[in-house]
Amino acid sequence: MPLVLLASASERRRQILTEYLEDRDTCLEFCILREPEQEVSSGMEVNLQVESSCIRKAMAAVKERSSEGENVADIILVSDTLVEDPDDERAALGKPKDESSAAFSLIRLSGRRHRVWSSTAVLSRKIGDIDVGEDWLATIWTDYAIVEFMHMGEAEIIDLINSRSWEGKAGGYDLAGAAGKFASVVDGEEVTVLGFSNRAIDSLGVFLN
């Protein structure tokens, strides 16, 4: 029975992968990377930023598991998600650090469309295009979906802030949570907004066979 390890603290990602593997003959485990998350920047396009972060996470996952001397999984997954500023393809709206930054993101997104990028790496010892160390290879997919927000008034934004649903969420919102009544996917797949490249999840069966 192959052991699949998801290196992520995201409850949404854990839920998605658990449901995907529910009827498959696999064992699923979770861990949280000790490596600090890469800071967002305005130096390059958001799709390149999210892919760079994903590669960094892949290397960290392999290094951390190997250094701990634990039984390493057959397959490791890492993923990163960034929300692109509606006006600037080089500006990412990352995870808010406080209520003020969460409010800033929600005000920027209110009544507008934006792209959400997710980059996912599937690591194995047999299949992959990128050497990430310790004899592990990574295959990386990067996809985007377009999300549209209804116009939100001050009271609605305050309610979202008070709900704390923005904590740990790129762009300051959780599509599957409180923000779902204001936002919807108008192009692409919901799984991409929630934290995984949809093509990575669709391709996972190849690695499990």
Give the domain ranges of the chain.
3-208
pLDDT reported for residue 70: 60
Tokens found for residue 209: 């066979």
Gap between the Cα atoms of 99 and 167, Å rounded: 9
The answer to whether residue 87 is catalytic is: no
The pTM score is 0.95
Tokens found for residue 139: 């295959």
CA terminus-to-terminus distance, the chain? 10
pLDDT reported for residue 146: 98
pLDDT reported for residue 31: 95
Gap between the Cα atoms of 49 and 43, Å rounded: 9
Domain 3-208, what architecture?
Alpha-Beta Complex (3.90)
Q: At what angle do helices 198-208 and 11-20 cross, to 10 degrees?
A: 50
- Catalytically annotated residue among 23, 25, 74, 80: 80
Mean pLDDT for each consecutive 10-residue tract of the chain (209 residues)?
94 96 94 88 89 96 80 90 96 94 97 98 95 95 98 97 96 96 98 97 92
pLDDT reported for residue 65: 85
pLDDT reported for residue 69: 65
Neighbours of 9 (CB within 10 A): 13
